[in-house]
Amino acid sequence: MTDYRDYSLLGRDGKVALENGLASIRWYQTEISRNSLKALMKPTDSPAIRDTIILFTAMAVFACLAGILFPSWLSVPFFLAYGVLYGSAMDSRWHECGHKTAFKTRWMNDVVYHIACFCMIRNPYTWRWSHTRHHTDTIIVGRDPEIQLMRPPEFAKLVANFFGLMDVPIGLRLMLVNASGELDPQEATYIPKNEHHKVVRVARFWVLIYIGTISISVLVQSWLPLLLVGTPRLYGAWHHVMTGMLQHGGLADNVTDHRLNTRTVLMNPVSRFIYWNMNYHVEHHMYPKVPYHALPALHNLVSHDLPPPSPSIAAGFAEMWPALIRQLNNENYFVKRTLPKSATPYRELTQSNLGREQVTSKPNNATP
């Protein structure tokens, strides 16, 4: 019988990672000069202000047009466009503002972060600590609370989540648990106790917003308020789920080199705007304090040491999807991407070989 991975933060594999010293370990980084890194990390407001104005203006326009045309079928394209900005673009805004790198001005980061968290149904205090753990223990089984593609993959759940049917019920459940004054046991493993009251306070405020939205919808006898608040997290989720799968799907777990467990994908300008340049994902994980608008420049500096990026979203799925299918029968299978000759060999420090680094640059699809 296969000994399946235990992804629970309270389970077996998390304890093994701690015992083996794989948790909170130092990750491999491509070397770049101090001056270059300083220039890339230089804070500024203007790119994020520009993009935020574009985002919220587009959302307002699409919402108004959808509302004016509702309930005609002519409203559907405008709802779909609004939904992608609400249910997917807000995912990347949550992410970048959570890192506090999007804006130079702190309050601007905080305002956009809290709006994005509400749209994505992610408690801003819970998820700030969750994402910190994700970067500390990226795709370390039993340690990383944000592993989207577990092994063996459950394809029915993956497809359902393109419509938010997995994430949204979880988000609503946690919101209600928090609003009752409690924390989920797994949340409690990474949220400091002095932040618990903040988690509860936000959850209660959100419950009031949802109650108010439902009440208005009933009062005016129209679905429109609910189509603009809450449900776009369902019908607009597909883009952030699609791009999120590509981040780590089909690649290695329990390693300490982001080139092994993270994928960079070249994308079209519209997807890059929605995703806020997080398609440069290996680069982001190596240097998470580099703001989104500087990631293309960072990519140019480190590309000699990284696997070639997937040339498109379709190419990324063409590489990932067969690997996910193979993991149904062999959960240890993963894609090892080829490194250029100029690259430092992979740093393959795993639970099984911790303490004796095995390095190889052999280009193949591997089973560790």
In a domain, 241, yes or no: yes
Task: Give the chain's length.
Answer: 368
In a domain, 343, yes or no: no
Contact 207, 175 (CB under 8 A): yes
Structure tokens at 107: 């309050």
In a domain, 162, yes or no: yes
In a domain, 206, yes or no: yes
In a domain, 332, yes or no: no
Residue 71 belongs to domain spanning: 12-327
In a domain, 7, yes or no: no
Tens digits of pLDDT across the chain (368 residues): 346 899 999 999 999 999 988 888 899 999 999 999 999 999 999 999 999 999 999 999 999 999 999 999 999 999 999 999 999 999 999 999 999 999 999 999 999 999 999 999 999 999 888 999 999 999 999 999 999 999 999 999 999 999 999 999 999 999 999 999 999 999 998 899 999 999 999 999 999 999 999 999 999 999 999 999 999 999 999 999 999 999 999 999 999 999 999 999 999 999 999 999 999 999 999 999 999 999 999 999 999 999 999 999 999 999 999 999 999 999 999 999 999 999 999 987 665 555 433 333 333 343 33
Q: How many structural domains does the chain have?
A: 1
Give 213-273 as a DSSP string.
HHHHHHHHT-SHHHHHTTTHHHHT-HHHHHHHHHHHTTS--S-S-HHHH---B---HHHHH
In a domain, 19, yes or no: yes
In a domain, 4, yes or no: no
